[in-house]
Amino acid sequence: MANYNKVLLMGNLTRDPEVRYTPKGTAIANIGLAVNRSYTTEAGEQKEEVTFVDIEVWGRQAETASQYLKKGSPLFVEGRLRLDQWDDKESGQKRSKLKIVCERFQFVGGPRASTEVSEGAPPPSRPPQRSRPAPPPPEEPPASGESDDNIPF
């Protein structure tokens, strides 16, 4: 039986991207996305629920996100679920958090959204429509358990 881990989301950023770098220099951007869902109750009342999702973006895509996105920016994200687990240093209890690891994203909206770049930076002549897939993070082992050294070509 094959497994499948794919997530597609479209929403608005809840904060500006936060970028940090690994010791080897790989960029990692953490972004928050708010995804709205509208529905009607049995009584006919219109309701809306908001889901807040943490997303991790790696490599060149992280740098692009940090350059062109800001709080409120609309964004389409394609990625996979990952469960992070750790021991809380203060309480000693096990903690966990489900997040999305972004494989690619796409800017949503018209030219106005893409020209609202950080202060002092000129807008791009043509906004990127789709970024390249990020390579897997260097800290994670290859999914198949084999390294590139075992490939016969």
Whether residue 47 lies inside any domain: the answer is yes
Does 146 have pLDDT greater than 80? no
- Is 145 among the domain residues? no
Domain that includes residue 72, residue range: 7-139
Specify the CATH number for the domain of residue 88: 2.40.50.140
Overall domain count for the chain: 1
The pLDDT assigned to 148 comes to 46
CA 48, CA 129: separation in Å to the nearest integer? 29
Question: Beta strands 46-58 and 18-21: pairing type?
Answer: unpaired
Please check the confidence at residue 130 and state whether its pLDDT lies above 60.
no
Type of residue numbered 115:
T
Nearest to 103 by CA among 51, 56, 34: 56
CA 138 from chain centre, in angstroms, equals 17
Distance CA(136)–CA(45), nearest Å, equals 45
Encoded tokens for 54: 């943490």
Mean pLDDT (the chain) is 80
Is residue 8 within 8 Å of 75, Cβ to Cβ? Answer: no
Read off the pLDDT of each residue in 7-13 and give the average, rounded to a whole number. 96
**What band does 122 get if pLDDT is binned at 50, 70 and 90?**
very low
pLDDT number for residue 114: 42
Percent of the chain residues topping a pLDDT of 90:
63
Query: Is residue 152 in a domain?
Result: no
Q: For residue 74, give the nearest of 141, 9, 25 by alpha carbon.
A: 9
Residue pair 63/132 in contact by the 8 Å Cβ criterion: no
Indicate whether 80 belongs to any domain.
Answer: yes
Residue-wise pLDDT for 25-34, tens only, equals 999 999 999 9
Helix, strand, coil share (%) of the chain residues, nearest 5? 10, 45, 45
Structural domain includes residue 2: no
Model pLDDT for residues 60-113, shown as the tens digit of each residue? 999 999 999 999 999 999 999 999 999 888 888 999 999 999 999 999 986 554
Give me Rg for the CA atoms of the chain.
18
In a domain, 75, yes or no: yes
Domain-embedded: residue 92: yes
Residue 110: per-residue pLDDT: 64
Does residue 105 fall inside a structural domain?
yes
